[in-house]
Structure 1
Amino acid sequence: MIPDIARDLALLRDSTDRLVTAAARLDDAALAAPSRLPGWTRGHVLTHLARNADALVNVLTGLPMYPSAEARDADIEAGAPRPLTAQLADLRETAGKLDVTFGSLTPDGWAGRCELRNGVTDVRARIPFRRLQETELHHVDLDTGYTLEQVPMEFLGQEIDFLTRRFSGNDTVPALALTAADGRTWRTGRDEGEPLRVTGEAPALMGWLAGRTAGGGVTADGADLPVLPPL
């Protein structure tokens, strides 16, 4: 599937603006409160987003995404307690640098491959969508009132496509046939065997696939929903 770079960049800029606007409504006490991610405050989430923007600039310019897993985790822990003013400045500055880096890529640059974490590689043209995943899902994780049901439809379909491709052929995931309430269908999991029919509204399916819910709003015909491996 060839990425639509212009579409993904437009979605990303809008998503970033909405995320920053939501974060700016917090105060220092709210920033220190728990997010929806176990063990992380809202400050952890915002710091991670800033460091992820730096990391994607690294990726796009031929550098390692992070010096190490330990350095990544340490940077997030160190930045999480900062006051809101510092968090917002960091988030805006790093998002701006990433956008400038996107703007510097030539057609050949977009077509080249890059290395992400844990040996994962991808074409640079898919990096705007990968950053969009970060901004949309972590906006939900901030727990400021933004829900899976509010995620833009253009992203929602792409994300389910991405996640079902990711689990496709994975022997730890049973064969699954997913059907959204709007009629869209996906196949994922093991290649062998009669697939388990799974249905739900598209936001609920995405939340389950992305590990954001235990499967609320998603049902499986005659069986319990399987536990999916972490992303």
Structure 2
Amino acid sequence: MSIAPATDIPVLAEATARLLATVDAMSEQQLAEASLLPGWTRGHVLAHLARNADALVNLLTGARTGVPTPMYASPEAREQDIEAGAARPLAEQAADLRASAARFDAAVAAMPDAAWSVEVPHRLGAFPAREVPAKRIGEVEYHHVDLGLPKAYAPADWPRPFVEAELVRLAEKFDGAPGLPFTVLFDTDTERVHETGAPRTNRNPDFHVSGSSAQLLAWLSGRSDGGDLVVASFCFTLADPASNLPKLPPLG
């Protein structure tokens, strides 16, 4: 097994356990309430998480068997499955999450070493199967926050290794993005600097954004409006960060 999946598996197990603990503490009323994702209840988020596990099993199965298999039969099928699962009782949602997680674990365990290097299909571009476990970690961590239960789980609860890796990934993803000004991110936890946005014509950023690791990632990933960040533009600190931050491109 390649190093990345071997490292990711216990991390995913811990993330899934945290998610299930939150779900087990939820009420039926909370399940039907709005999540942080527009148009979705918490039931929609949980249904998506279960179906995403099965979709990633499809990718691993395709890599293992040599028969490329898409995550979902179609975008329409994906949406229909989420809608169909969203209104189920909490006990069914929790059981489905556990069962789908077990199926994912079984698919990982069935992967021979050579299969981890096989490219798997994705709407944003193919990638090696060894990246599948990390993608599942991202789904679990981000959507756990999207449940909108900050007393149970919030960006500040994200594990530090996840936050640090995602800060690098998203800063690189938005690097050179059209319409995003040259922005410097200063992580007050680690004192690390991340640069993103428009190509650098000089070393003077259009925006200098400071905050904790989790605060910066919450903003970059769309889980925060950035109101808790310190934002400066051309040496002037802006009084209303949420209104003055540059608009980020969609995550895709």
TM beyond 0.5: yes
Deviations 1:51-79 (A, max 9, x none): 10011011122211111111111111111
For the Cα contact (< 8 Å) 1:204–1:216, is it kept in 2? no
- Give the structure 2 partner of residue 219 of structure 1: 230
Q: CA deviation at 1:6?
A: 2.3
The partner residue of 1:207 within 198, 209, 218 is 218
Q: CA deviation at 1:9?
A: 1.3
Matched to 2:101, the amino acid is A
Matched, 1:72 2:78: yes
The partner residue of 1:176 within 177, 183, 186 is 183
- Give the structure 2 partner of residue 230 of structure 1: 250
Matched, 1:185 2:205: no
Deviations 1:14-68 (A, max 9, x none): 0001101110111222211111212111100100000100110111222111111
- What does 1:1-231 correspond to in 2, within 5 Å? 4-62=4-62, 63-116=69-122, 118-144=123-149, 145=151, 146-181=153-188, 182-193=190-201, 194-195=204-205, 196-222=207-233, 224-231=244-251
Count matched residues. Answer: 229
Matched to 2:99, the amino acid is E
Q: The residue matched to 2:170 in structure 1 has which SS?
A: helix
Deviations 1:183-223 (A, max 9, x none): 12212222233433221111110000001111122233226
Q: Distance in 2 between matches of 1:230 and 1:74?
A: 23
Choose 214-223 or 150-159, whichever is displaced more.
Answer: 214-223
For the Cα contact (< 8 Å) 1:3–1:126, is it kept in 2? no
Q: The residue matched to 1:4 in structure 2 has which SS?
A: helix
Q: The residue matched to 2:208 in structure 1 has which SS?
A: strand
Q: CA deviation at 1:3?
A: 6.5
Structure 1 vs Structure 2 CA RMSD: 1.6
User: Where does structure 1 differ by over 6 angstroms across 4 or more consecutive aligned residues?
Assistant: none
Matched to 1:201, the amino acid is S
Give the greater-gyration-radius structure (CA). Answer: 2
Structure 1 residues 79 and 22, CA gap change in structure 2 (3 angstroms): same
Q: Distance in 2 between matches of 1:226 and 1:140?
A: 23
Choose 51-60 or 26-35, whichever is displaced more.
Answer: 26-35
Return the TM-score normalized by structure 1: 0.93
Q: Distance in 2 between matches of 1:119 and 1:183?
A: 32
What are structure 1's unaligned runs of at least 5 residues? none
Choose 145-154 or 189-198, whichever is displaced more.
Answer: 189-198
Matched to 1:226, the amino acid is P
Q: Distance in 2 between matches of 1:130 and 1:225?
A: 28
Q: The residue matched to 1:92 in structure 2 has which SS?
A: helix
What are structure 2's unaligned runs of at least 5 residues? 63-68, 239-243
Q: Distance in 2 between matches of 1:192 and 1:221?
A: 18
- Give the structure 1 partner of residue 241 of structure 2: none
Matched to 2:59, the amino acid is V
Q: Distance in 2 between matches of 1:172 and 1:160?
A: 20
Percent identical among aligned pairs is: 41
Deviations 1:78-132 (A, max 9, x none): 110000111111111111111111112222211222122x232222111111111
Matched to 1:169, the amino acid is G
For the Cα contact (< 8 Å) 2:177–2:249, is it kept in 1? no
Matched to 2:245, the amino acid is L
